[in-house]
Amino acid sequence: MRRALDITEIARQHYALVYRFCARRIGVEAAADAAQETFVTAQGALRRYRGDSTLRTWLLGIAHNECRRVSRNRNLQPPPIELIDAVGEHRTESLVIDRHSLTEALNKLSDEHRDVVLMHEVDGLSYEEIARVLEVPSGTVKSRLHHALLNLRRSLQEGGER
C-alpha cells in the first residue's frame, strides 16, 4: 500500500531545489513567487501523480511551466547565470570575464537550447529526466543539447577572437 503524499512534507523537502531551478530561469526576484505557485499547482495535481517519474522530476516539470508562464507574463529576460558557485573569495579577473562570456553565450541560445543546457549541466538532470520535465522524447533532448553545446562553443570562440 502506497503512503499518502503530504504536500507540506514535499514542499519542505524540495523547496530549495525548486527555488534554485526557478531562480536560474527567471531571476531571484520572481523565483519565490514561481516556487510557491509550483507547490500550489502540485497540491491541486497531487492526487493525479501516478509515480511514472520521480517526485523531483514531476515538480521540476511543474516549475518549468510556471517559469515559462511568469516569464511570458512579466516579459522577463534570462537572468545572469552564476554557474560557478564554489569559487571562493579569490576571483580572478579572467574568471569574471569567462563567467560574463558564458552568460552572454547562454543568453544567445534559444529558450529550448538554454533550458536543456541548464537542466543537464547545472541542475544535473539526466536525458530521461529532462525529457519528462519538457514532455519531449529523450532523443529530442539529446539533439537539443548537442546543438546547444555546438552553439555555445561557437559563440565563445567568436567572443574570444574579438
pLDDT tens by residue, 93-114: 454 557 778 888 998 999 999 9
How many Cα atoms are found within 13 Å in the side-chain-facing hemisphere of 91?
13
Which set of grid coordinates corresponds to residue 23?
531562480
| pLDDT above 80 (res 150) | yes
| Angle CA 121–26–101, to nearest 5 | 55
48 vs 76, which has greater pLDDT? Answer: 48
Confidence at residue 2, expressed as pLDDT on a 0 to 100 scale: 46
Confidence at residue 161, expressed as pLDDT on a 0 to 100 scale: 56
| pLDDT above 70 (res 53) | yes
Instruction: Mark residue 51 as left, alpha or beta (left: phi above 0; alpha: psi -120 to 50; beta: remaining).
Output: left
